[in-house]
Amino acid sequence: MQPYHYGESVCFEIGYTCDDTFDQYHADYEVCCGCCHTQRSGKVVSVVSLLLSFIALFWAIFFESSYLTAVGAIYIVSSISLIVAVFLERHKLMLPYIFVSIFRELFEIYLIVRMSTGLSEAVEVKDSISANNLLLLLIVLLLLAIHASIALWIIWIVYIHYCYLRDRPINCALQHSGKKNLVCRVVGSFGFNIG
């Protein structure tokens, strides 16, 4: 992995310091309005995600839905990969969770658009929907929109933690394990510079 240079087209330059050094206390690695570092938030998000995935799977099994059981199993596998990635500090293991979450949010946004167009069509036809059903649909639509917003924010937090783990030099990981303090950076496509 070669370091990014200023002016390159990089998607979301998280933690960029203008001199290609890694600053683990950079403001971009502070999440939740600056009150939490990405290391802590990554652990919290991964544990909560796994718990919610297990709850969703048990709920799907209880209602005997094979489709929901398969989706719950996919969520559990992606959440387990997220937990392993966060606690073992392996950034590539975060990608399944990020992709599954993005796909889930795209489907949820599709549901929101579909429900809102169906709701607007039902309101235009005078006697097709009662006031109670209209209120219920509006509440469900509002809850879906709130959930989508929170889920997109959580995906952003996980992406920031992915960037943090991807961009940090090896010495940050080795300091926590008590190993010798080595800095290992890729200097080209052929080898490493250890110093």
What is the per-residue pLDDT across 69-81, written as a single tens digit (0 to 9) for each?
Answer: 888 889 999 999 9
* Domain assignment present for 177: no
Beta-carbon contacts of residue 115 (< 8 Å; ≥ 6 apart):
137, 140, 141, 144
d(CA 159, CA 99): 11
* Domain assignment present for 22: no
Burial grade of 110 (CB within 10 A; 0-12, 13-18, 19 or more): exposed
Q: What is the mean pLDDT of residues 151-165?
A: 86
**What is the model's pLDDT at position 152?**
92
- pLDDT reading at 39 higher than 90: no
* Domain assignment present for 185: no
The reply to whether the predicted model has a pTM over 0.75 is no
**What is the model's pLDDT at position 151?**
92
**What's the gap between Cα 87 and its chain centre?**
15
pLDDT tier, 192 (very low <50, low <70, confident <90, very high otherwise): very low
Q: Is residue 29 within 8 Å of 160, Cβ to Cβ?
A: yes
* Domain assignment present for 1: no
pLDDT in tens, 15-29: 655 556 665 656 566
**What is the model's pLDDT at position 187?**
35
Dmax over CA atoms of the chain, in Å, equals 76
* Domain assignment present for 36: yes
* Domain assignment present for 141: yes
pLDDT tier, 1 (very low <50, low <70, confident <90, very high otherwise): very low
* Domain assignment present for 44: yes
Q: How many separate domains does the chain show? A: 1
Vertex 100: Cα angle to 45 and 115 (nearest 5): 100
- pLDDT reading at 103 higher than 90: yes
* Domain assignment present for 109: yes
**What is the model's pLDDT at position 96?**
93
Beta-carbon contacts of residue 74 (< 8 Å; ≥ 6 apart):
100
Average pLDDT, whole number, for the chain? 75
The fraction of the chain above a pLDDT of 90, given in percent, is 19
**What is the model's pLDDT at position 193?**
42
Range of the domain at 81: 27-167
Q: What is the mean pLDDT of residues 161-182?
A: 61
Q: Is the model more confident about 192 or about 102?
A: 102
The alpha carbon dihedral of 124, 130, 135, 139 has a sign of negative
